[in-house]
Structure 1
Amino acid sequence: MIRLENISKQNGQQIVFIEASAALQRGEKIGLVGPNGAGKTTLFRMITGQEAPDEGQVSVDRGVTIGYFSQDVGEMAGRSVVAEVMEAIGPVSAMIAEMAELEAAMGDPDQADQMDAVIERYGEVQSRFDEIDGYSLDGRAREVLDGLGFSQEMMDGDVGKLSGGWKMRVALAKILMMRPDAMLLDEPSNHLDIESLIWLENFLNAYEGTILMTSHDREFMNRIVTKIIEIDSGTLTSYSGDYEFYLEQRALSEAQQQAQFERQQAMLAKEIAFIERFKARASHAAQVQSRVKKLDKIDKVQPPKRRQTVRFEFQPAPRCGEDVATVKGVQKAYGSRVIYEGLDFQVRRRERWCVLGANGAGKSTLLKLIAGSSEPDAGTVTRGPSVKMGYFAQHAMEVLDGELTILQALEREFPQAGQAPLRALAGCFGFTGDDVEKRCRILSGGEKARLVMAIMLFNPPNFLVLDEPTNHLDIATKEMLVDALSKYEGAMLFVSHDRHFLAALSNRVLELGEDGPRTYGGGYTEYVASTGREAPGLR
C-alpha cells in the first residue's frame, strides 16, 4: 500500500537515510523506533509528501487516504471543540450554515422567483452532507472526545482557550474521526492519562486500516503493534512481532554479530601473524602472497553499533526515620470544587507509593501539599525531621533559566562543587562533551527533564516526590530511570501514566476517587489483579 524504495535523504550535514527500503501493507500496525534524531519525523513527512527523498521513491497506492498526527498541531480558534473535530471530515459547519440559509430562503415569499435554484442547491448540499454521514458526526465526535478525556462542557467550549496538551488531544481526535486508510501517529500517547491511553488502545486495535506510529510508552506500543520498523544509521530494518519481541530479536542479532566479529578478528590476527613472520623468507613467498590476497578479498564483519544510553547514578541516600510524611484531616478546595475532605495518609520509610485517580481527583495536589508548594485549607501535613526531599513537578522545567547553558545551570545550583564533578554529573544524564554548552532554551522536553533530575539528585534525597517524571523521556531513557530507581533505597511518592513505570517501581497504591481514598498493600500489578481494572477512572 505504501512503499519506500531505496530512499536516500540528507538534512544539511546529517545523512538521514542511505538506500533504505520498507513497505506498509493494508491493515498492518507498525511501530517506528530509533534514537532521537534518527529520522522518524522525516519519514512521516516523506510519506505524506511534505518532503521528498533526495534519491529513491516513496509510492502510495492510488486512492489511499492518509491521516497524519504530529506534535505540531497548528492554530485552533474560533469554533467549539466538537465543531473543530467535525471539520476533519470536511467543511461541516459551512454545510450546516448553508443548509440553514437555504431552508430560510425556501420559506421566504420574497425569494419565490429563485425557488427552483434554491431547491436545487439545497439538494446538492444535503446530498454531500448525507455522503459524509453528517447527521451522525456530532455524536461520533463527542464519543471520540469523551474517550480522550473531554467533559461535555469542554466539548462545547472554545477550542482556542485550551492548553497546548488539550489541543494535542483535539488534533488526535480529528485524525481518529477521519478514519483514513492509513494513520501516521507521531507520539499519540503524549499528554494522555491512563484512562485515555486505554481507550485509545481499544480504538486503534479495532481500527481496520494501517497504522505507523512512534511512542515513548512501551506498554502502549506492545498492545497495538505487530511489526517494528527500526531506523538505525540510515537503514530501515523490519521485525515481525511487538516491541518486546523486537528487543529480543535485536539483542540476539547483536550477539550473533559480535560472535562473528570476534571469530573473524581471531582469524585475521592469525593470518597477519603468519604474514609478518614469514614475509621476509623467500621459501614462503607464495604462501604469504596468497594469504595477503585472501585478506584483501574478505568482507569485514563490523562489530554491532553501541547505542548511546543515559545512565542515572544515584549516590546512597541518607537514612531517615520510619515516618517520612504524614497527612492528617486535610481539607482542600479550589473555589466551590472540593478536592479532599478529611484526608488521612502516611508514607513510611522504603515505601513506594503510586497515586492513581481520574482527572481532577487531586493527584498532583496531594504531591504539592506533601512537597510544601501548596497549603491545606485545614488539617496538617508534616515530614519527618531527617527527611531530605527531592520534588519533580510538572512545571519544574519551566523554571530553568533559558539563557544559561547546562553547565551554568548546574554551577548556579551547586556553586561550591567545581566543574569536574558537575561535568561528570552532566555526563551521567546524557550531556557529554560540548552538550554542556547548550543553552536551556533550545533543549528538548526530554533534555530539560534530564537536567532537572540531575539537579534534584546531585545531593541525593531520601524521599522522592515525582509528578509525571517520564512525560518527556524516550523509551531508552525511561528504562535507565526505572533501573536506577529500582535500586533507590529511599521512600517514593509518584504520579505517572506509564504503566511499565508504575508496575516496575510501586509497592503501595493510593487510589483517589469519589468515594474517598483507598490504599492497597501491593504495587500497581497487584492493584490491577485485585480490582480488575488498570485505572480507577475506567468506565
Structure 2
Amino acid sequence: MIRLENIGKQNGKQIVFIEASAALQKGEKIGLVGPNGSGKTTLFRMITGEEAPDEGQVSIDRGTTIGYFSQDVGEMAGRSVVAETMDGAGPVAALSAEMRKLEVDMGDPDKAGEMDTIIARYGEVTEQFEELDGYALDGRSREVLDGLGFSQAMMDGDVGALSGGWKMRVALAKILLAKPDVLLLDEPSNHLDIESLIWLEEFLKNFTGALLMTSHDRAFMNRVVNKIIEIDAGTLTSYTGDYEFYQEQRAVADKNQQAQFERQQAMLAKEIQFIERFKARASHAAQVQSRVKKLDKIDRVEPPKRAQKVVFEFRPAPRSGEDVAVLKGVAKTYGEKTIYDGLDFHVRRKERWAIMGVNGAGKSTLLKLVTGAAEPDTGSVARGPSVKMAYFAQHAMDRLDGDKSIFDMLQSEFPQAGQAPLRALAGCFGFSGDDVEKKCRVLSGGEKARLVMAMMLFDPPNFLVLDEPTNHLDIATKEMLIEALANYEGTMLFVSHDRHFLAELSNRVLEVSPEGVRTFGGGYREYVESTGQEAPGLRH
C-alpha cells in the first residue's frame, strides 16, 4: 500500500535518512521505533505529503485513504464534541450538514420559487447519506467518544471548552471514525487513562486497515503491532513480531554484529602487524603488496550503532520511621461532589502503593492530601517526623526558571555537586552533550518532566509521591526510571496509566471509586488476577 524507496532526507545539518527503504502492506500493524529526534514524525509527514524526501520516493497505491493523528491539534471551537467528531467522517459529515441546510431552506417562504430544486437535491443527498450509513454516524461517534472516556454531557458540550488533552482525544476520535485504509498514529496513547488505552487496543486490533504508529507505552505496543520498523542512524530496519520480540531480535543482532566486528578487528590487526613487520624487506614485497590489496577490498564490519544503556542509581536515602503517612477519618469535597468521606489510609515504610481509579474518582486528590498540597475538610493527615518527601505532579514544572539552562538549573539546585556528577545525571535523563545548554523556557513538556525528575532524585527522598511520572517519557527513559525505582529503598505512592510501570513497581494497590476505597495486599499483577480486569472502569 505504501512504499518508501531509497529515501534520503536532511533537516538543516542533521541527516535524517540515508537510502532508507520500508513498506506497509495491507492489514499490517507496524510500530515505528527510534530515539527522540531520529525522524519518526518526519517519516509520517513524508507519507502524508507534508514534506518531500530529498532523494528517493514515497509510493502510495492509487485510491488509498490515509488518516493521520499527530500531537499538533488544530483549533476546535463553536460546536459540540460529537459534531466535531462527526466532521472526521468526511463525505458523510458534509452530506449531513447539507441535509440540515436543505431542511431549513424547505421551511423558508422566501425560497418557495426554488422549492422543486431544493426538494430534488434533498432527495439526492438523502440517498447518498443512506448509502454511506449516515444515520448510524451519530451513534458511531458516541461509541468512539465513550471508548475514549467522554461522558454523554461532555459529548454534547462545546469542544472549545475542553483542555488540550481532551481535544487530543477528539482529534483521535475523528481519525478513528473516518475508518481510512491506513491509520498513521503519532503517540495516540498520550493523554489516555488505562480504560481508554485498553479500549483503543481492542479497536486497533479489530481494525481491518493498515496501521503505522509510534507509542511510548510498551504494553500498548505489544498488544497491537505485529511488525516493528526501527529508525537507526538514518536507516530503516524491519522486524516481524511485537515489541518484545523486536527487543530480543535486536539484542541478538547487536551481539552477533559485535562478535563479527571483534573477529574482523583481530584479523585486521594481524594483517597490519605482518605488513608493518615485513614492508621494508624486499624478500616479502610480493606478500606485503598482496595483503595490502586484500585489506583494501575487505568490507568493514561496523560495531553496533545502538547507544549504550544509561543507568541511574540512587544514592542511599535517609531511613524513615515505620509510619510514613497516616490519614484518619478524612473527608474532602469539591463543590457539591464528595470525593472522600471518612477515609482511613496508612502508608508504612517500603510500601509501594499504586492508586487506581477512573477519571474523577479522586486519585490526584489523595496524593495532594498526603503531601499537604490540599487540606482535608475534616479528619487528619500526618506524616512521620523523619519523612523526607518529594512530590512529582504537573505543577512541579513551575519550579523551573525559564532563563536558566538545564545545567544552570541543576547547578543552582546542587551547588556542592561537581560538574561531572551533574552532567552524568543530565545524561541519564536524556540531556547529553550540548543539550544541557538549552534554556528551560524552550523545553517541551516531556523534557521539563525529565529535568524535574532528575532534580528530585539526585538528592534522594525517602518518600516519593508521583502523579503520572511517565507522561511524555520515551520507552528507554521509562525503562531507566523503572530500573532505578526498582532499586530504590524508600516508600512510594503513585498514580500511573502505564501498566508496565504499575506491574514492576507496586506492592500494594488502593482502588478509589464512588462506592469507597478497597485495598489489595499484592501489587498490580495480583490486583489484575484478583479482579479479573486491568482497571476499575472495566468492571461492570
**Partner in structure 2 of residue 422 of structure 1:** 422
1:396 aligns with 2:396: yes
Residues 56/390 of structure 1: CA separation in 2 closer, same or farther (3 Å cut): same
Q: Secondary structure at the match of 2:489?
A: coil
Q: Secondary structure at the match of 1:313?
A: coil
1:486 aligns with 2:482: no
Name the aligned partner's letter for residue 2 of structure 1: I
Residues 533/420 of structure 1: CA separation in 2 closer, same or farther (3 Å cut): same
**Partner in structure 1 of residue 90 of structure 2:** 90
Q: CA deviation at 1:418?
A: 5.4
Q: Is the 8 A contact 1:184 1:211 kept in 2?
A: yes
Higher mean alpha-carbon deviation, 488-497 vs 436-445, is at 436-445
Q: CA deviation at 1:270?
A: 1.1
1:429-440 superposed matches below 5 A: 429-440=429-440
Q: Secondary structure at the match of 1:211?
A: strand
Residues 410/292 of structure 1: CA separation in 2 closer, same or farther (3 Å cut): same
Q: Is the 8 A contact 1:390 1:463 kept in 2?
A: yes
Name the aligned partner's letter for residue 193 of structure 1: D
Q: Is the 8 A contact 1:313 1:428 kept in 2?
A: no
Cα RMSD for the two superposed structures = 1.6
Q: Secondary structure at the match of 1:325?
A: strand
Query: 1:194-248 deviations in whole A, cap 9, x for unaligned?
Result: 0000000001111100000000000000000000001111111100000000000
Q: Secondary structure at the match of 2:197?
A: helix
Looking at structure 1, the residues matched to 96 and 143 of structure 2 have their Cα atoms a distance apart, in angstroms, of: 20
Q: Is the 8 A contact 2:429 2:477 kept in 1?
A: no
Q: Is the 8 A contact 1:89 1:132 kept in 2?
A: no
Q: Secondary structure at the match of 2:382?
A: strand
Q: CA deviation at 1:429?
A: 2.7
1:194 aligns with 2:194: yes
Q: CA deviation at 1:102?
A: 3.4
1:496 aligns with 2:496: yes
1:87-486 superposed matches below 5 A: 87-90=87-90, 95-96=95-96, 98-103=98-103, 105-106=105-106, 111-307=111-307, 309-417=309-417, 419-486=419-486
- Aligned residue pair count: 539
Query: 1:510-531 deviations in whole A, cap 9, x for unaligned?
Result: 1111221111111100110111
Looking at structure 1, the residues matched to 464 and 268 of structure 2 have their Cα atoms a distance apart, in angstroms, of: 53
Q: Is the 8 A contact 1:309 1:430 kept in 2?
A: no
Q: Is the 8 A contact 2:90 2:178 kept in 1?
A: no
Q: Is the 8 A contact 2:68 2:185 kept in 1?
A: yes
Name the aligned partner's letter for residue 246 of structure 1: Y
Looking at structure 2, the residues matched to 370 and 87 of structure 1 have their Cα atoms a distance apart, in angstroms, of: 44
Residues 113/390 of structure 1: CA separation in 2 closer, same or farther (3 Å cut): closer
Q: CA deviation at 1:94?
A: 6.0
Query: 1:488-509 deviations in whole A, cap 9, x for unaligned?
Result: 0101001000000000011111
**Partner in structure 1 of residue 534 of structure 2:** 534
Query: 1:58-89 deviations in whole A, cap 9, x for unaligned?
Result: 01111110000000011101100000000111
Q: CA deviation at 1:141?
A: 0.5
Residues 117/247 of structure 1: CA separation in 2 closer, same or farther (3 Å cut): same
1:55 aligns with 2:55: yes
Query: 1:468-499 deviations in whole A, cap 9, x for unaligned?
Result: 00001000000000111100010100100000
Looking at structure 2, the residues matched to 128 and 482 of structure 1 have their Cα atoms a distance apart, in angstroms, of: 54
Residues 427/227 of structure 1: CA separation in 2 closer, same or farther (3 Å cut): closer
Q: CA deviation at 1:129?
A: 2.2
Residues 86/298 of structure 1: CA separation in 2 closer, same or farther (3 Å cut): same
Residues 107/458 of structure 1: CA separation in 2 closer, same or farther (3 Å cut): closer
Task: Calculate the TM-score normalised by the size of structure 2.
Answer: 0.97
Unpaired stretches in structure 2, ≥5 consecutive residues: none
Looking at structure 2, the residues matched to 384 and 467 of structure 1 have their Cα atoms a distance apart, in angstroms, of: 21
Q: Is the 8 A contact 1:311 1:430 kept in 2?
A: no
